[in-house]
Structure 1
Amino acid sequence: MVNASLKYVDLIRQRTAKWANWFPEQQDIRVGSYGRFSAQTGKFEVEGNVYDPEFQKLLDATDGKMKLSDHLPVLDEEEKDFAVGSMGVRNKEFSPGSDVVEGIDKAKYKEDWQFLQDKRGAMLVMYKPRQEHFPKGKVFEALYKVPELKDKYIVPTVYKCRAYAIYLSHKTGEKISLALLPKSGEGNETQLDWWTNSKVEHLQVGTDKDYVFSPLFTCQRKIPLVRPLMRDSPTPDPEDAGFWMEVYPPWEPLDDDGEIDPVYDDDQEVCI
């Protein structure tokens, strides 16, 4: 049985260097969320948010000046559609054959996705996403000083969208046609609905009139400061994001079904 969520998160990270949310209908990842990743499911397990009133008390105890309510996340303008597949997965010109749906000429997005035979593949589509992120300035510097964030992962950027599609393939070389259409009825131009010619497991789609989904995000953690060699030299203060680093998966390399690949010791003797 495939460990779908873990394999999907792992494949999308390999392709984008960012973290995927397998549960966008259930879990709203927000800027400022902190926690850890589950090594069993790949899910980001949120423990809190730096914009919570309770966290401000921790910040007051270390900084005393920074009020995060004065430095709220910034929401950027719409970007082009984000469509990415893992290695070997190809997006192609829309060609559903006889299954073509009425009103396809009004589609906001339409593409075919071709997956490999005998190999898991993943894809993510976000319709005109917007990046939400920490404002430039002193936020990272203030957060670095909070000891409770030691060994925690923090989310500085989230991709927000109104419509998404995610999929983990079945290793059958399948092709999936996807189209994002305006909902039928007058006055529904701002509301969207997905159409697909496939009824496959592990295909998830969602739409909303607002930017409520967060299928992709970045994560960072503190870089431990090294004491200076000279005893009298002061430890430097962190500057913006300069003392934060990218997060790496807390799981070992996976096989095609999302299970941990056996690791062999190179020094192990081989019996013939």
Structure 2
Amino acid sequence: MVNTSLKYVDLMRQRTSKWANWFPERQDIKVGSYGRFNAQTGSFDVEGNVYDPEFQKLIDATDGKFKLSDHPPVFDEEEKDFAIGSLGVRAKDFSPRLDVAEGLDQAKYKGDWQFLDIKRGAMLVMHKPRQEHFPKGKVFEALFKVPELKDKYIVPSVYKCRAYALYLSERGAERFSLALLPKPGKDNKTQLEWWTDSKVEHLQFKTDPEEVFSPLFTCKRKILLIRPLMRESPTPDPEDADFWMDVYPPWEPLDDDGEIDPVYDDDQEDDPNVYNPRRDSVYVPQPISDDEDDE
């Protein structure tokens, strides 16, 4: 049995250095959400949001002047379609095996996805996402002072979109075509629907007239500060996100089915010759092209 959600989240984390949401239509991850990751499912278990009125009381207890409601999340400009696969997965030129649905010439997105036959792969497509995030300035500084966030993870930015597709492959040389088409009918010119020539089990996609889906997000936690060696040297005040760090997976390395891989020995965690994804440097994804060699 495959631990589908955990394996998908783990693969996308390795590829993008961000966190994926296996159920974007069910779980709305918002800017300011805080909680912890579920090590069994990979999902982010939300415990609350810093923009909730109740949380303002915690800020008031440390800083009676800062009002988080005066610093709401901001939206960046709309981006191009985001399409990325895990290592070994490639987006190819659109070449469907079946008769294509009407309106293909007006498709907002179209592409083929090719997967290796020796290991599982993951892919994610977001149609013209917009990133929502904390405004620059004092938000991180005010939150750092709240002791209740000491052991919590916080979401400072989320990619929002109105159409997404995601997939975790089986162990086979799978390939399928995807297209995002306008819905037929005069009254549906602004509405979209997905088309595919495949019936694979773990392919999920959804559309909505509004940007309601959050398939990808970032997460940070406080840096634990060490008391200065010299008593007269005070701990400096944090500036923006300086005292916050990226969150690493709370689970051990996984095998191809999303279960803990028995090959990796905990006693060898610090051995530089033993692969440990939590020790890897941050990977910055590049656009996928047909010319890119398999890694």
Q: TM-score range by the shorter chain?
A: over 0.9
The residue that corresponds to 1:95 in the other structure is: 95
Moved more, 186-195 or 244-253: 186-195
Pairing 1:19-168 to 2, within 5 Å after superposition: 19-168=19-168
The CA deviation at 1:226 is 1.3
Is 1:253 aligned with 2:247? no
Q: CA deviation at 1:229?
A: 1.2
In structure 2, distance between residues paired with 1:30 and 1:68: 15
Question: Residue 215 of structure 1: SS of its match in structure 2?
Answer: strand
CA RMSD after TM alignment: 1.3
CA contact (8 A) 2:98 2:197 kept: no
Higher deviation after alignment, 94-103 or 22-31: 94-103
CA distance in 1, matches of 2:211, 2:264: 46
Q: Which amino acid aligns with 1:136?
A: K
* CA deviation after TM superposition for structure 1 residue 97, in Å: 3.0
SS at match of 1:125: strand
- Residue in 1 aligned with 2:193? 193
CA deviation string 1:137-180 (max 9, x = no partner) = 10000000000000100000000000000000011111010000
Structure 2 Cα separation of the partners of residues 94 and 177 of structure 1: 7
| Number of residue pairs the alignment of both structures matches | 268
Task: Tell me the TM-score normalised to structure 2 length.
Answer: 0.89
- The answer on whether the counterparts of 2:223 and 2:244 sit within 8 Å (CA) in structure 1 is yes
**Counterpart-to-counterpart distance in 2, 1:178 and 1:150:** 43
Contact kept in structure 1, 2:253 and 2:264, CA below 8 Å: no
Q: Following the alignment from structure 2 to structure 1, what is the Cα–Cα distance between the partners of residues 29 and 45?
A: 10
Amino acid aligned to 1:215? P
Match of 1:239 in 2: 239
Residues 1:62 and 1:217: Cα distance change in structure 2 (over 3 Å): same
Alpha carbons of structure 1 residues 264 and 115: separation in structure 2 relative to 1, 3 Å:
closer
Cα deviation for residue 12 of structure 1 reads 0.3
What secondary structure does 1:46 align onto?
Answer: strand
Please, which moves more after superposition, 259-268 or 155-164? Answer: 259-268
| 3-state DSSP of counterpart to 1:205 | strand
**Distance of 2:188 and 2:19 partners within structure 1:** 32
Distance 2:264 2:78 in 1: 47
Query: Displaced runs of 4+ in structure 1, greater than 2 A?
Result: 263-268
Shift of 1:99: 2.7
Structure 2 spans left out of the alignment, 5+ residues: 269-295
**Which residue is 2:17 aligned to?**
17
Tell me the distance in 2 between the aligned counterparts of 1:37 and 1:191.
34
1:174 maps onto 2:169 in alignment: no
Output the TM-score relative to the length of structure 1.
0.96
The secondary structure found in structure 1 opposite 2:187 is coil
Aligned partners of 1:144 and 1:59: how far apart in 2?
10
Alignment gaps of 5+ in structure 1 = none
Report the Cα distance in structure 2 between the residues aligned to 1:132 and 1:267, rounded to whole angstroms.
40
